[in-house]
Chain A
């Protein structure tokens, strides 16, 4: 039997204490063991960015991390962004309104990359957004809708902070 370890971590605000195979990637653990299939795998090599999650608030490639490395940490996945089961995060709303997605496969990773980016850089230029997105591949949109959504989300998030 493959070697396992017990790990404790928080995912989307919920604490889990689970036995996990030591060789399982964080992405496979999230998808298969926790059933959080919103985190997607596009290359399993750290290039495409589809598997991006937040680890203690910092974006991380969940395909390049082992699940055991997440022990003691706090993970946010796309399932944890919306404030409620019917509502959307302002960034998600902006993506809907600007057609920032087509097939949607890269979208979870893009969203989490931008959550971190807009938190650290709340009033970015278009070029800064593009650089922030350069680690996320999208084959559908040509990035136009994604960039527009990110810039608009920055405004929405600032408005929300003021309000």
Chain B
């Protein structure tokens, strides 16, 4: 069969399938779903970081007109087979299990923990009633700081816990202590690394409806992982999967927190079962701050050993990771951070010890970047330190240590969380750095900096390299089906959170099946669409679902060509699929619609299938891949610091990146731009604060700052394309890549700008107030000398 492609849909920036609806207000986000008789829910949440619950009095709430029900854990117990959400990724490193309850029973362990659900005729009434549920709390000592949590004598985060160590592990390879003992230079850094929330502009939400006719419970949830959520519901509600459906409608962004299954998902379902009415719950922004998962603090002690030429001999250290009050995902953030440290570089020996500490705060789970920005920051700070101490250019230090392209694929003596060997599959890291530096004018910067200083301006430049594992397996399936209408239907467990997933899948399918995206309907994130699914996380869906779509579409194409050749009485070699038709090249009248081809294999009673093909114009593929596709990049930031205010302005931001083969250049650019914005926020603005009693102190978007259009610098993107050998499309993930190097590059640039003051930075984010204090301190020190 001729597999020569007539189409070049892949690789071109086609219009997005999503846009027509979203631009005209016709999207269907979860809060846009309205069902007849629908009730509205609001949650009673803990105002304490840690307290015992002595009693709950619902009478005041139930006395309000329009309030239908108030449910506590006790009320839900008869409906629950399992009271807790058991979701933790497996690991031998756990020292205790801390799964979230459906609702708090006898104890609350963070501010915002759900205690009861109120169901009323509308949301306003539900919120009125929330204020009238009287919960008798007895406050208990709370732990706010993850370092203090592990100190001897720390108050327990859970009153039944012997200690606050959730998990501990170490990873590494080589004779690291030997390397340090023999090294001519050893430098040590203590770092505080912070990341904040996901803050999709759409908060979370759920709509649950029970259809008594079929005894089927349907949940629309703003989840990135509907199939995982279905499994949680099977486990907790004791319903089999034929009587459950979970759907992700249009999502107004994900960014990590929506990959977690939540109490609210489960409890909204129960509320629908108890009341016999559809129930909607929509999270407001304040709730998002106190109940959606977030990333937060890590405290690192890390050191590097180098030889006289600044070649790395070893890296070792430890860090404490704030895990929050429960395990809502696993130990993966600690794993990611530790695993990512050495990736771009040749590091002969490495060891990182990690402790995950429970705190009385919102559970910590991945936010776009998922631990990788922190590991990257630690390594890049160490390399900046080496450059400073040995009086070398920072880019030169990196050049001497980056893995050369000739050594790809490069095996790191590290294992992924699933036990797979870390093998960097492809890429040219030195070239990537060189291109970023060249575009940013790295070599000429010292002259520009001197000139600026003479004008009293403090500008600086910083560089960071990163390597990010993407496309985490084992699979994401795709079904491609052509029905009698001729329309191409695509189903996948992939979930669209706004990253153009439907367009991506349609592109891959269209490449094989006629090139017309308008003839394709893509259904993602629906457990009734495809039985197995993993969902949106870890920059994985183009690699996994994209590959499956490619393979499934190719199968359907082969079948369509075979059957059409019989129907048209033409040779398969002469056939091509264009638009919705199979036709004979050069004979425009000899053609047949895909719908008629599909009809021919849909079966007619008593007649054989043409060509004895398998029934149906359909294929399902689960492309299985365990190895990760490693994307890489280099970011250069140029900043100006106002030394009188501590304000930082990013003048220019260049990122060279390699996500393998690019399917849609504009979508890839969009992912990098958005990731960079998020990373800039992590470097300079976003801080999720808690006071000493673990009370959150940043609970609205006035206190917690997201980057706006005026803070965004011009971002220049350079694409390198080293196809991954691990999948048929040659792709790597890109969704998180823009975030990863930003804090490291920007903080390096700020430190460079402040070199005349000798200010040293060992944290992200850095706020203007902190910078001002450091500058003032340095000035005082200079005067004192």
Instruction: State yes or no: do A and B come from one complex.
Output: yes
A25 to chain B, nearest CB (A): 10
650-702 of chain B: CB within 8 A of chain A: 666-667, 669-670, 672-678, 700-702
Within 8 Å CB of B20, what residues of A? 88, 96
CB < 8 Å neighbour of A24 from B124, B201, B670, B672? B124
In the bound complex, CA of A50 to CA of B253 (Å):
13
The answer on a CB contact under 8 Å between A134 and B16 is: no
The answer on a CB contact under 8 Å between A40 and B708 is: no
The answer on a CB contact under 8 Å between B500 and A102 is: yes
In the bound complex, CA of A104 to CA of B21 (Å):
9
In the bound complex, CA of A141 to CA of B498 (Å):
10
98-122 of chain A: CB within 8 A of chain B: 99, 101-108, 111
B706 to chain A, nearest CB (A): 5
Q: Which residue of B lies closest to A143 (CB)?
A: B709
Q: Does residue A62 face the partner (Cβ distance < 8 Å to B)?
A: no
Within 8 Å CB of A81, what residues of B? 24
Q: A45-B701, A140-B253, A142-B715 are in contact. Are A37 and B201 (CB under 8 A)?
A: no
Q: Which residue of B lies closest to A93 (CB)?
A: B23
CB < 8 Å neighbour of B201 from A42, A92, A135? A42
Q: Does residue B285 face the partner (Cβ distance < 8 Å to A)?
A: yes
A86 to chain B, nearest CB (A): 9
The answer on a CB contact under 8 Å between A103 and B497 is: yes
The answer on a CB contact under 8 Å between B16 and A44 is: no
Within 8 Å CB of B348, what residues of A? none
The answer on a CB contact under 8 Å between B253 and A23 is: no
Q: Which residue of B lies closest to A36 (CB)?
A: B25
State which of A65-73, A144-152, A154-162 sits at the interface with chain B.
Answer: A144-152
Q: Does residue A59 face the partner (Cβ distance < 8 Å to B)?
A: no
In the bound complex, CA of A135 to CA of B250 (Å):
24
Q: Which of B199, B255, B498 has the most CB of A within 10 A?
A: B498
The answer on a CB contact under 8 Å between A147 and B22 is: no
Q: A139-B199, A144-B712 are in contact. Are A108 and B25 (CB under 8 A)?
A: yes
The answer on a CB contact under 8 Å between B251 and A101 is: no
B253 to chain A, nearest CB (A): 4
The answer on a CB contact under 8 Å between A144 and B19 is: no
Within 8 Å CB of B673, what residues of A? 141-145
Within 8 Å CB of A88, what residues of B? 20, 23-24
In the bound complex, CA of A48 to CA of B701 (Å):
8
Within 8 Å CB of A18, what residues of B? none
The answer on a CB contact under 8 Å between A101 and B19 is: yes
The answer on a CB contact under 8 Å between A42 and B202 is: yes
In the bound complex, CA of A9 to CA of B90 (Å):
57
11-40 of chain B: CB within 8 A of chain A: 13, 15-16, 18-29, 31-32, 34
Q: Does residue B558 face the partner (Cβ distance < 8 Å to A)?
A: no
Within 8 Å CB of A78, what residues of B? 23-25
CB < 8 Å neighbour of A43 from B28, B285, B666? B285
Q: Does residue B710 face the partner (Cβ distance < 8 Å to A)?
A: yes
Within 8 Å CB of B32, what residues of A? 31, 37
Q: Does residue A137 face the partner (Cβ distance < 8 Å to B)?
A: yes
The answer on a CB contact under 8 Å between B22 and A40 is: no
Within 8 Å CB of B521, what residues of A? none
Within 8 Å CB of A142, what residues of B? 670, 672-677, 707, 712, 715, 738
The answer on a CB contact under 8 Å between B252 and A40 is: yes
Within 8 Å CB of B672, what residues of A? 142
Within 8 Å CB of B497, what residues of A? 103
In the bound complex, CA of A107 to CA of B29 (Å):
13
The answer on a CB contact under 8 Å between A103 and B24 is: no
In the bound complex, CA of A24 to CA of B201 (Å):
22
B422 to chain A, nearest CB (A): 30
Q: Does residue A79 face the partner (Cβ distance < 8 Å to B)?
A: yes
In the bound complex, CA of A28 to CA of B127 (Å):
14
The answer on a CB contact under 8 Å between A47 and B700 is: yes
Per-residue contact bits, chain B 313-351, to A (CB 8 Å; 1 contact, 0 not): 000000000000000000000000000000000000000
Q: Does residue B200 face the partner (Cβ distance < 8 Å to A)?
A: yes
The answer on a CB contact under 8 Å between B253 and A92 is: no
Q: Does residue B4 face the partner (Cβ distance < 8 Å to A)?
A: no
Q: Does residue A138 face the partner (Cβ distance < 8 Å to B)?
A: yes
Within 8 Å CB of A41, what residues of B? 31
The answer on a CB contact under 8 Å between A139 and B710 is: no
Q: Which residue of B lies closest to A25 (CB)?
A: B124
479-511 of chain B: CB within 8 A of chain A: 497-500
Q: Which residue of B lies closest to A2 (CB)?
A: B124
Q: Does residue B65 face the partner (Cβ distance < 8 Å to A)?
A: yes
Q: A23-B124, A92-B23, A139-B200 are in contact. Are A99 and B667 (CB under 8 A)?
A: yes
Q: Does residue A52 face the partner (Cβ distance < 8 Å to B)?
A: no
Q: Does residue B552 face the partner (Cβ distance < 8 Å to A)?
A: no
Q: Does residue A38 face the partner (Cβ distance < 8 Å to B)?
A: yes
CB < 8 Å neighbour of A107 from B16, B22, B708? B22
Q: Does residue B284 face the partner (Cβ distance < 8 Å to A)?
A: yes
Q: Does residue A64 face the partner (Cβ distance < 8 Å to B)?
A: no
Q: A41-B31, A42-B202, A103-B253 are in contact. Are A95 and B23 (CB under 8 A)?
A: yes
Q: Does residue B561 face the partner (Cβ distance < 8 Å to A)?
A: no
Q: Which residue of A lies closest to B653 (CB)?
A: A142
Q: Does residue B513 face the partner (Cβ distance < 8 Å to A)?
A: no
Q: Does residue A20 face the partner (Cβ distance < 8 Å to B)?
A: no
The answer on a CB contact under 8 Å between A35 and B709 is: no
Q: Which of B31, B252, B499, B500 has the most CB of A within 10 A?
A: B252
B23 to chain A, nearest CB (A): 4
Q: Which residue of A lies closest to B32 (CB)?
A: A37
Q: Which residue of B lies closest to A21 (CB)?
A: B124
The answer on a CB contact under 8 Å between B499 and A102 is: yes
Within 8 Å CB of A144, what residues of B? 669-670, 673, 712, 715
The answer on a CB contact under 8 Å between B710 and A38 is: no
A48 to chain B, nearest CB (A): 6
In the bound complex, CA of A41 to CA of B710 (Å):
22
The answer on a CB contact under 8 Å between A99 and B31 is: no
Per-residue contact bits, chain B 357-368, to A (CB 8 Å; 1 contact, 0 not): 000000000000
The answer on a CB contact under 8 Å between A105 and B202 is: yes
The answer on a CB contact under 8 Å between A130 and B23 is: no
The answer on a CB contact under 8 Å between B19 and A39 is: no
The answer on a CB contact under 8 Å between A96 and B15 is: yes
In the bound complex, CA of A23 to CA of B125 (Å):
11
In the bound complex, CA of A22 to CA of B715 (Å):
46
The answer on a CB contact under 8 Å between B710 and A134 is: yes
B377 to chain A, nearest CB (A): 20
CB < 8 Å neighbour of A134 from B250, B701, B708? B708
Within 8 Å CB of B370, what residues of A? none
The answer on a CB contact under 8 Å between B674 and A101 is: no
CB < 8 Å neighbour of B23 from A23, A105, A111, A139? A111
Within 8 Å CB of A32, what residues of B? 34, 122
The answer on a CB contact under 8 Å between B715 and A139 is: no
Q: Does residue A133 face the partner (Cβ distance < 8 Å to B)?
A: yes
Q: Which residue of A lies closest to B23 (CB)?
A: A92
Q: Does residue B594 face the partner (Cβ distance < 8 Å to A)?
A: no
1-60 of chain A: CB within 8 A of chain B: 1-2, 21, 23-24, 28, 31-32, 35-45, 47-48, 50
Q: Does residue B193 face the partner (Cβ distance < 8 Å to A)?
A: no
The answer on a CB contact under 8 Å between A105 and B200 is: yes
Q: A45-B702, A140-B253, A147-B709 are in contact. Are A1 and B65 (CB under 8 A)?
A: yes
Q: A45-B702, A133-B709 are in contact. Are A105 and B498 (CB under 8 A)?
A: yes
The answer on a CB contact under 8 Å between B23 and A45 is: no
CB < 8 Å neighbour of B252 from A1, A31, A99, A103? A103
Q: Which residue of B lies closest to A132 (CB)?
A: B709
In the bound complex, CA of A121 to CA of B265 (Å):
46
Q: Does residue B203 face the partner (Cβ distance < 8 Å to A)?
A: yes
Within 8 Å CB of A36, what residues of B? 25
The answer on a CB contact under 8 Å between A43 and B715 is: no
Some 21 contacts from A to B, beta carbons below 8 A apart, are A24-B124, A32-B34, A37-B28, A40-B202, A42-B252, A43-B701, A47-B702, A99-B13, A103-B202, A103-B498, A105-B29, A105-B200, A107-B22, A107-B23, A134-B709, A136-B708, A137-B701, A139-B199, A139-B255, A141-B670, A141-B673
The 5 A-B residue pairs whose C-beta atoms are closest, nearest first, are: A38-B25, A103-B498, A105-B252, A104-B22, A142-B673
